[in-house]
């Protein structure tokens, strides 16, 4: 991309500008433009390729009446898996972040923070395999227990598959994957709590936990919300881990513990990953349309997260 800058052509005598400045500014501007173009390009592609699926041809070739009947259950599955992930990840992430920022000795906290960051660097396909081979298998007894004692709640109805590859497993794996981002943001905010408010609480005779409730949580609350939303954004879009754990199916089911065909939901991202390879024509359009829906939702969630964070900065 060539950007012609009029200033370089008409350089006034005695100007202090250097060639390096011009080049760097050009590069920086170009990078910014490329990012905007890439985002616009993705959005344009999704709209151009996805919107034709609204006629229902793609959905019909998959055996559904219209595109919404096809997309709806996938969207439901995506949200369900992400909500499980958040329920698992949020308390864990806040706990770990507090350990790092307020409880552990500094050296240990540093190591722990480093380990959590490392968790974010693990490729998602590895999480997927870990999900099938380790989480799923080892959770089977837990699932059986839940099914035995809480099976009357539709969420925990059986039968529990011996493989353990259920919605619950997918949600747990997603939770672990969303953990680093939530932890990192919470840790950052907890550590920024003004010392004078923490001392105010301690001087009143607060224990460490009481100090955290009096000073740290109120200060960090909006940051925690935005951290959770950003983690949710990650869980919504995650593909490989879910694709490996769940078998694809188009069904709305609250059932978390079973894998019987037709009674366990799947997610948009996993569905695309599993079906895109052997799709053609209108089927591709239908899959791209589900992608568009996912794009809109993750975009909205991320935007909301940043908005909450930005509002907190302005307020505080």
Partner 1 sequence: MAKSIDVSDLNIYYGDFLAVEGVNISIKARAVTALIGPSGCGKSTFLRSLNRMHEVIPGARAEGKVMVDGQDLYASDVDPVAVRRQIGMVFQRPNPFPTMSIYENVLAGKRLNAKKLKKSEADDLVEKSLRGANLWTEVKDRLGKPGMGLSGGQQQRLCIARAIAVEPEVLLMDEPCSALDPISTAAIEDLIHDLKSDYTIVIVTHNMQQAARVSDDTGFFNLRATGEPGQLVEFNPTKKMFTNPDNESTESYISGRFG
Question: Which residue of 60, 137, 197, 306 would you call a contact of partner 1, by CB under 8 A?
Answer: 197
Binding of residue 218 to partner 1 (CB under 8 A): yes
Among 57, 120, 132, 214, indicate the residue that binds partner 1 (CB under 8 A): 214
Nearest to 268 by CA among 310, 225, 236: 236
201 binds partner 1 (CB under 8 A): yes
Asked if residues 61 and 283 have their Cβ atoms less than 8 Å apart, the reply is: yes
192 contributes a contact to partner 1 by CB under 8 A: no
Q: How far is the CB of 225 from partner 1 (least distance, A)?
A: 14
Q: What angle do CA 158, 129, 93 make, to 5 degrees?
A: 80
Q: Is 207 in the site for partner 1 (CB under 8 A)?
A: yes
219 binds partner 1 (CB under 8 A): yes
Left if phi > 0, otherwise alpha if psi is -120 to 50, otherwise beta: which for 25?
alpha
C-alpha to C-alpha distance for 305 and 230, rounded to whole angstroms: 6
Regarding 104 and contact with partner 1 (CB under 8 A), the answer is no
Who's near 113: CB < 8 A, 6+ residues apart?
100, 184, 187
d(CA 191, CA 187): 6
Q: Decide: is 215 part of the binding site for partner 1 (CB under 8 A).
A: yes
If binding is defined by CB under 8 A, does position 311 make contact with partner 1? no
Binding range to partner 1, per CB under 8 A, among 125-133, 150-158, 199-207, 240-248:
199-207
With beta carbons less than 8 A apart as the criterion, state whether 216 and 124 touch: no
Kindly write out the interface string for residues 136-155 of this chain, putting x where it contacts partner 1 by CB under 8 A and - elsewhere: --------------------
How far apart are alpha carbons 122 and 133 in whole angstroms? 16
Residue 206 interacts with partner 1 (CB under 8 A)? yes
Q: Which residues bind partner 1 (CB under 8 A)?
A: 105-106, 194, 196-207, 210, 214-215, 218-219, 316
């Amino acid at each position: 991309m060539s950007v012609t800058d009029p200033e370089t052509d008409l350089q006034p005598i005695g100007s202090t500008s250097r060639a390096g400045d011009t080049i760097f500014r050009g590069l920086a501007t170009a990078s910014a433009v490329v990012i905007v173009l890439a985002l616009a390009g993705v959005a344009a592609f999704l709209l151009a390729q996805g919107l034709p699926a609204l006629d229902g041809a793609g959905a019909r070739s998959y055996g559904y009446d219209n595109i919404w009947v096809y997309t709806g259950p996938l969207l439901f599955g995506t949200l369900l898996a992400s909500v499980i992930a958040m329920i698992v990840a949020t308390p864990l992430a806040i706990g770990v972040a507090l350990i790092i920022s307020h409880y552990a000795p500094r050296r240990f906290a540093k190591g722990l923070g480093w380990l959590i960051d490392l968790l974010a660097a693990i490729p998602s396909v590895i999480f997927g395999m870990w999900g099938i081979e380790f989480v799923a298998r080892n959770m089977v007894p837990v699932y059986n227990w839940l099914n035995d004692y809480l099976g009357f709640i539709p969420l925990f109805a059986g039968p529990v598959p011996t493989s353990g590859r259920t919605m619950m497993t997918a949600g747990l794996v997603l939770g672990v994957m969303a953990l680093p981002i939530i932890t990192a943001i919470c840790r950052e905010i907890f550590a920024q709590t003004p010392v004078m408010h923490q001392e105010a609480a301690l001087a009143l005779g607060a224990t460490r936990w009481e100090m955290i409730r009096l000073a740290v949580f109120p200060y960090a609350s909006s940051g925690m919300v935005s951290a959770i939303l950003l983690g949710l954004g990650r869980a919504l879009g995650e593909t490989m881990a879910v694709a490996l754990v769940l078998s694809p199916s188009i069904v709305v089911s609250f059932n978390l513990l079973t894998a019987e065909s037709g009674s366990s939901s799947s997610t948009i991202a996993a569905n695309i990953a599993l079906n895109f390879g052997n799709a053609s024509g209108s089927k591709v359009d239908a899959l791209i349309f589900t992608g568009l829906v996912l794009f809109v939702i993750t975009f909205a969630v991320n935007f909301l997260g940043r908005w909450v964070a930005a509002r907190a900065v302005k307020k505080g």
